[in-house]
Amino acid sequence: MALRFEVLGRFNRARAAQLTLPHFVCQTPLFMPVGTQGTIKGLATDQLEEIGCQIILGNTYHLALRPTSELIDELGGLHKFMNWPRALLTDSGGFQMSPVDGKPMLLTPEESIQIQNRIGADIIMALDDVVKTTITGPRIEEAMYRTLRWIDRCIAAHKRPHDQNLFGIVQGGLDPVLRDICVRGLVDRNLPGYAIGGLAGGEDKDSFWRVVAQCTATLPEDKPRYVMGVGYPLDIVVCSALGADMYDCVYPTRTARFGTALVPEGVLKLKHRAMAEDTRPIDPTCACMVCKNYTRAYIHSLVTKDSKGSQLLSFHNLYYMMQLSRNLHSSIVQGKFPEFVCNFLQKMVKCVMV
């Protein structure tokens, strides 16, 4: 097992921990930006270090297509290839379409792990059978049992357990019985870490949070818990309160490309004409280089006609997510988690009420 997970503080189910990986020592809770092909659009790796990014997520399928896992391996692995000294996580490569020709590609558990072994990320994900949570009936049960069968094939195919950590993924839709079977089956395999998958796909928030609460209650206390595809700040705060540790999503950078900034009150739409003469920073309380150096009016002028605007907003939005992660960690360690949550929610609710 190539990781160490040490809980540094707790408040009820919330926990702050130190996650030691082969390439970096991380503090949880943490958010991972998505760099599909080994890059975050518009940002260099030194900027990501400046922001405080600890782990970048790469997509196995896209990397296998271009530049290919063989080339990445030949050039020393993805860390060296993209000049990233900190940790990396690769997803399994499932549930994707080729951006080159749209053709399907057969991806077996063995092939997924072989590709990820070549890429060399600190954390690699088992191939799972993903179905939307809004689907009901036998397909959900079929996917869950297939996911359990595939984890054994992934374990058998994994050739680098000494420096890569294989995480299993809990499936089962919104069915508590199926989720419980999957959790217990994965825990029996004694994996380095566990992910909760198949969420953020159209289900209501109550159902989403219920599944997270159920899974975190059964997953091991001494292993990291990763809720996949979650990027809304409110969801991250709630899931952290429920005992989750890791999150990823394209939301912060995708919303930046639409001219929207993340702020404590929710979002700020920089394309709105009201921003044209606003000389304030995006967020007066933010310490990022964008808020220190540029006005809303300036960024408004960029987002309407220049890619530089989306780059600045991507920097700010990812800084916001990293600061949220740092605040979650420190508030739990310092025993101030309830105050942090109340303050976070008050700002959000005040914005909605106005």
pLDDT at 354 over 50: no
d(CA 206, CA 224): 23
What is the reported pLDDT for 105? 73
Of 287 and 135, more confident: 287
pLDDT tens string 79-96: 999 999 999 999 988 755
Q: Is 23 annotated as a binding residue?
A: no
* Residue listed under structure tokens 């400046």: 50
Q: Which two tokens stand for residue 245?
A: 């540790």
* Contacts of 83 by beta carbon, 8 Å cutoff, 6+ apart: 45
Q: Is 162 annotated as a binding residue?
A: no
Q: Burial, 279: exposed, middle or buried (Cβ in 10 Å; 0-12, 13-18, 19+)?
A: exposed
Task: Select from 165, 127, 177, 173 the least CA-distant residue to 147.
Answer: 127
Section 148-165 average pLDDT: 98
pLDDT at 41 over 90: no
pLDDT band at 304 (very low <50, low <70, confident <90, very high): confident
Bridge partner list, 57: 34, 89
d(CA 5, CA 30): 13
pLDDT tens string 244-258: 999 999 999 999 999
pLDDT at 132 over 90: no
Bridge partner list, 260: 269
Burial string for 256-277 (b: 16+ CB within 10 Å, else e) reads bbebbbbbbeeebebeeeebee
pLDDT at 333 over 60: yes
Q: Is 92 annotated as a binding residue?
A: yes
pLDDT at 98 over 70: no
d(CA 80, CA 85): 8
Section 107-115 average pLDDT: 95
pLDDT at 261 over 90: yes
Q: Which two tokens stand for residue 170?
A: 């809990």
* Residue listed under structure tokens 């988690």: 337
Residues 49 and 318: beta-carbon distance below 8 Å: no
d(CA 203, CA 134): 6
Q: Is 342 annotated as a binding residue?
A: no
Of 153 and 106, more confident: 153
pLDDT at 100 over 80: no
Task: Select from 65, 169, 160 the least CA-distant residue to 114.
Answer: 160
pLDDT tens string 169-228: 999 999 999 999 999 999 999 999 999 999 988 899 999 999 999 999 999 999 999 999
Section 261-279 average pLDDT: 97
User: Which residue ranges make up each domain of the chain?
Assistant: 4-250, 255-339
Q: The domain 4-250: what is its CATH number?
A: 3.20.20.105
What is the reported pLDDT for 68? 94
Sign of the Cα torsion 252, 256, 261, 267 reads: negative
State what percent of residues in the chain have pLDDT above 90. Answer: 85
Q: Is 171 annotated as a binding residue?
A: yes
pLDDT averaged over every residue in the chain = 94
Section 38-64 average pLDDT: 93
Q: Global pTM?
A: 0.95
Q: What are phi and psi of 102, to 5 degrees?
A: 75, 5
pLDDT tens string 144-154: 999 999 999 99
Bridge partner list, 11: 14
What is the reported pLDDT for 97? 46
Q: What are phi and psi of 248, to 5 degrees?
A: -150, 155
Q: Is 288 annotated as a binding residue?
A: yes
Q: Is 198 annotated as a binding residue?
A: yes
Catalytic residues: 91, 248
